[in-house]
Amino acid sequence: MFGLGPMELIVILVIVLVLFGATRLPEIGKGVGEAIKNFKKATSDRPEIDVTPKKNAEAKKENSAADPDKEKKT
- pLDDT tens for 20-69 read 888 888 898 899 999 999 999 888 877 677 777 777 655 666 666 665 55
Q: Is residue 13 part of a domain?
A: yes
Q: Is residue 1 part of a domain?
A: no
What is residue 65's predicted lDDT score, i.e. its pLDDT?
Answer: 61
What is residue 62's predicted lDDT score, i.e. its pLDDT?
Answer: 62
What is residue 43's predicted lDDT score, i.e. its pLDDT?
Answer: 83
Range of the domain at 55: 6-73
Q: Is residue 15 part of a domain?
A: yes
Query: What is d(CA 60, CA 4) in angstroms, rounded to the nearest whole number?
Result: 63
What is residue 15's predicted lDDT score, i.e. its pLDDT?
Answer: 92
How many domains does one find in the chain?
A: 1
Q: Is residue 49 part of a domain?
A: yes
Of the two residues 20 and 1, the one the predictor is more confident about is 20
